[in-house]
Amino acid sequence: MVKHDGSQQDPVLLSGRDVTTEIGTSRRPPEAEEELRRSWAGLLRAYEPPDAALAGYVERVGARAAWTAIRDRRAPRSVLLPTAARTEQFIAAELEALIDTDLAAAEAVGARLIGAGDPEWPEAAFVSFLMAASNAVKNAAPPVALYVRGRRLTNLPADALSIVGSRANTAYGQRVAADIAMGAADAGLTVISGAAFGIDTVAHRGAMAYDRESPTIAVLACGIDRAYPVANAALIDRIAQVGSVISEYPPGFSPARHRFLVRNRLIAALSAGTVVVEAGRRSGTLSTAGAADGLGRVLMAVPGPVTSALSVGCHLLLASGKALLVTSAEDVLATLGERERVEAFNRHVGLEPLMLPTEPPRPTERHPTDGLEPGIAKVYDALPARAARTVTQLSVESAIPSGDVIAALTVLELHDLVRRQNGAWRRKRQSDQ
Amino acid sequence: MVKHDGSQQDPVLLSGRDVTTEIGTSRRPPEAEEELRRSWAGLLRAYEPPDAALAGYVERVGARAAWTAIRDRRAPRSVLLPTAARTEQFIAAELEALIDTDLAAAEAVGARLIGAGDPEWPEAAFVSFLMAASNAVKNAAPPVALYVRGRRLTNLPADALSIVGSRANTAYGQRVAADIAMGAADAGLTVISGAAFGIDTVAHRGAMAYDRESPTIAVLACGIDRAYPVANAALIDRIAQVGSVISEYPPGFSPARHRFLVRNRLIAALSAGTVVVEAGRRSGTLSTAGAADGLGRVLMAVPGPVTSALSVGCHLLLASGKALLVTSAEDVLATLGERERVEAFNRHVGLEPLMLPTEPPRPTERHPTDGLEPGIAKVYDALPARAARTVTQLSVESAIPSGDVIAALTVLELHDLVRRQNGAWRRKRQSDQ
């Protein structure tokens, strides 16, 4: 269990009660806000996310109506089904008491509860679940609300980059993850990850290396009042101070195994792009990658030595064409550029293949004749390193007519690359000058 | 200069004169064969390859007619132009004397001369230059003839794989190149490379690790009687003994810089696919890759650490979508498979994007509930590691109706994963059994 140290945090942003006051400045009266917040808490407790039927119902009728209908067992069968196990053992008053408990537990760690209609609700991040549903993406339903500790969520998913990878990682993966996280945060992006050991930890730390606002967000697979892994409790607290920590699970909920996969869809949805730094063949990280791909986000992977088991997952993503190859923060920023985002969307809806633009391959290493016309370079190449040749000899060697050889030699002489010697020509060395 | 050690080589295959005799068993009389061979030698000496006009002319009128027309200055202007510098300084008798010299020099190192119409001429390798021309590929003209030392050329490009890379290479690149070369040769492919230091050398050596016929072919950028680099003379001789060495340059010609790029198109053309193992940002190796891509061959690249300058070229090829990612000989063989070859062709002619099939990402690491239905696994996950839970508690925790929880517990009990304890359930540990 982590504890909220209120002294170091902004009470307006971090306390659930104060957030209510803040939202209360909108058109809704404070009592309506309170009721809405209680409904979100009730909904989050009533089912195990994700559930497309329930999410759709909440969107259609609103959180308050949805919650009371579920609590009072008046909701449609498709919604009562996923909520029965957690609601039908209790009478309404017991359910409301559970809500009190959850909201108090959240407030105890400085967490607030947000949902659709709240100014900081990342609506844009969840629109794509509609597209995803038609693409048969697993876990394709948005959360109905989120517990949040720390800074206000802004510009998600546009200004966020997810960096994910194996808990087991190599020194190579750590270095690359830190470099990309630092570069992304320095460029103004918020780095999102899962607070796990390994690549996640390095990504959060790298992003916090610069002193800027909201450098990083951790999305948990357990209640907002818990820290998993426990050894990362201090890291998660620090993220809540300078950035944000998010969970769609009620306080106290444990990080059950399937919740990591469900949480991974949020990491993908909340960011414009996801970079997989290191992942084994069966890494859970690949579910984040699958979600990013299915949600039409820009999916990127870092290649590594083919001899490393922890790069196998990355290479599978790259070989399958699902992920774009990135080698640095610069690559990531370029790939997230506007044009690429449009192309990723096109790919998502099947319009055309996505190709990362790149510099055309350039020929060979630096050479004295770089920049000269090929014909002129051929005449230079026809001269041996340390012997003289006549125009006729050069013409035969290069297969270039004598007149053109003479013209080429004139150009080469102007470039200080050749010199005459007894009616013949030879290469000019640096020592000649 | 390398010398032919006739004692270790098959005279029928290796001597130019004996090849003539062999070809003489076809319909053409021996004198016609001799004239054809002299024409090929004259043509190779008359111009600096590649030249599309000259190659097209030779294909249209035949090598003999083309050579005499060039020698006697009766050829079309487009053909006289690239041949003027090397022919107009000599009378016909002098040119014929040069042919004598070239053929004698070739024979001295056990090389023969082949061209269109010769049974071992790799016609199929050069058909694609027609396609390439329309795709504006650099150096897009086939050779008009080739000097060959060693084994007969067979099944090119179908049964050949090019492995190329930087002269400067890392231990990583060496290991991967050797692995791929050994695996490809073991699977019956002929490994083609350029006999340069670095990756080329490792590729040739790796291919020769198995005792099989024609494991490797070296394509030189200089005359067939020269060894470049000189330190690889012994390697080149060994390749000529067990495999083949090829050049489109007359004997004695030096490895001028531009000839490496021109030679690279032959490496690409003579193989079904090209693997780039390591290449810097400006590596000459990228010209082989460009030719393979332009000629509709399967282009593959091996990823490496993003921290290695010698993997930058590979990553550019992969990021641009030009190359397919391969990590092993198995990958290469799968990628060269029939379906992929068809797709590469489709991509070449713009029909559809090329995607390498791959296993779908699998979720997370091994777990006791792997293979069980998700709902059953959720019930298992809802059980804490070391405490018991009632059916009702499990139903609330997992959000699964009590009836289904009981059914799931029955399945879990059958799988020996849970046990009853005082009316509740707990996980069964190995020590319980």
Answer yes or no: do B320 and A355 touch at CB < 8 A: yes
Chain-centroid distance, C-alpha B224: 21
Q: What's the pLDDT at B382?
A: 87
Within B300-399, where are the H helices? Answer: 312-319, 329-335, 338-348, 374-382, 391-398
Confidence of residue A169 (pLDDT cuts 50, 70, 90): confident
Task: Quickly count: other Cβ atoms within 10 Å of residue A181's Cβ.
Answer: 31
Confidence of residue B402 (pLDDT cuts 50, 70, 90): confident
Residue of A nearest to B400 (CA): A85
Residue of B nearest to A382 (CA): B256
- Contact residues on chain B for A317, CB-CB shorter than 8 A: 361
Answer yes or no: do B89 and A356 touch at CB < 8 A: no
Least Cα separation, residue B127 to chain A (angstroms): 25
Opening angle at CA A190, ends A189 and A192, nearest 5: 135
- Contact residues on chain A for B264, CB-CB shorter than 8 A: none
Answer yes or no: do A316 and B361 touch at CB < 8 A: yes
Q: What's the pLDDT at B26?
A: 54
- Contact residues on chain B for A367, CB-CB shorter than 8 A: 257
Least Cα separation, residue B152 to chain A (angstroms): 30
- Contact residues on chain B for A77, CB-CB shorter than 8 A: none
Within B62-166, where are the H helices? Answer: 63-71, 77-87, 92-108, 123-134
pLDDT in tens, B172-186: 999 999 999 999 999
pLDDT in tens, B245-278: 999 999 999 999 999 999 999 999 999 999 999 9
pLDDT at B161 over 50: yes
Of the candidates B281, B324, B399, the beta carbon closest to that of A47 is on B399
Least Cα separation, residue B76 to chain A (angstroms): 17
Task: Quickly count: other Cβ atoms within 10 Å of residue A74's Cβ.
Answer: 11
Closest listed residue to residue A248, CA positions, set A213, A222, A211: A222
The answer to whether B191 touches B160, Cβ cutoff 8 Å, is yes
- Contact residues on chain B for A353, CB-CB shorter than 8 A: 321, 353
* Most confident segment among A206-220, A391-405, B380-394, B402-416: A206-220
The answer to whether B314 touches B283, Cβ cutoff 8 Å, is no
The DSSP element (H or E) to which A394 belongs, if any, is helix A391-398
Least confident of A388-397, B1-10, B72-81: B1-10
Rg (CA), chain B: 30
pLDDT at B164 over 70: yes
Answer yes or no: do A89 and B392 touch at CB < 8 A: yes
Closest listed residue to residue A58, CA positions, set A120, A117, A119: A117
Q: Which residues pair with B274 in a beta bridge?
A: B162, B299
Confidence of residue A150 (pLDDT cuts 50, 70, 90): very high
Confidence of residue B396 (pLDDT cuts 50, 70, 90): confident
Q: What's the pLDDT at B106?
A: 98
Task: Quickly count: other Cβ atoms within 10 Å of residue B90's Cβ.
Answer: 14
Answer yes or no: do B175 and A319 touch at CB < 8 A: no
Q: What is the 3-state secondary structure (H, E, C) of A156-203?
A: CCCCEEEEECCCCCCHHHHHHHHHHHHHHHHCCCEEEECCCCCHHHHH
- Contact residues on chain A for B137, CB-CB shorter than 8 A: none
Least confident of A92-96, B77-81, B126-130, B424-428: B126-130
| Chain A to chain B Cβ contacts (< 8 Å) | 198
Answer yes or no: do B83 and A399 touch at CB < 8 A: yes
The one-character DSSP state at A277 is -
Least Cα separation, residue A253 to chain B (angstroms): 8
pLDDT at B162 over 60: yes
pLDDT in tens, B311-329: 999 999 999 889 999 999 9
pLDDT at A178 over 70: yes
Q: Indicate whether this complex's ipTM tops 0.85.
A: no
Average pLDDT over residues A73-80: 95
pLDDT at A361 over 70: no
Calpha distance B195→A119 (Å, rounded): 66
pLDDT in tens, B95-122: 999 999 999 999 999 999 999 999 999 9
pLDDT in tens, A276-307: 999 999 888 999 999 998 888 999 999 999 99
- Contact residues on chain A for B306, CB-CB shorter than 8 A: 176, 302-304, 327-328
Calpha distance B318→A321 (Å, rounded): 10
SS3 of residue A112 by DSSP: strand
pLDDT at A194 over 90: yes
Of the candidates A261, A307, A359, the beta carbon closest to that of B363 is on A261
The answer to whether B167 touches B310, Cβ cutoff 8 Å, is no
The answer to whether A277 touches A165, Cβ cutoff 8 Å, is yes
Of the candidates B85, B316, B395, the beta carbon closest to that of A359 is on B316
Q: What's the pLDDT at B157?
A: 93
- Contact residues on chain B for A399, CB-CB shorter than 8 A: 47-48, 82-83, 85-86
- Contact residues on chain B for A85, CB-CB shorter than 8 A: 395-396, 398-402, 405
pLDDT in tens, A327-359: 999 999 999 884 455 555 555 544 433 333 333
Helix crossing, B374-382 with B391-398: angle to 10°? 120
Of the candidates B85, B353, B399, the beta carbon closest to that of A400 is on B85
Opening angle at CA A126, ends A122 and A131, nearest 5: 155
The DSSP element (H or E) to which B217 belongs, if any, is strand B216-219
- Contact residues on chain B for A87, CB-CB shorter than 8 A: none
Amino acid at position A379, single letter: V
Calpha distance A267→A405 (Å, rounded): 64
Of the candidates B306, B364, B401, the beta carbon closest to that of A84 is on B401
Task: Quickly count: other Cβ atoms within 10 Å of residue B59's Cβ.
Answer: 15
Average pLDDT over residues B40-61: 95
Burial of B93 (0-12, 13-18, 19+ CB in 10 A): exposed
Residue of A nearest to B394 (CA): A85
Domains delineated in chain A: 6-348 (3.40.50.450), 374-432 (1.10.10.10)
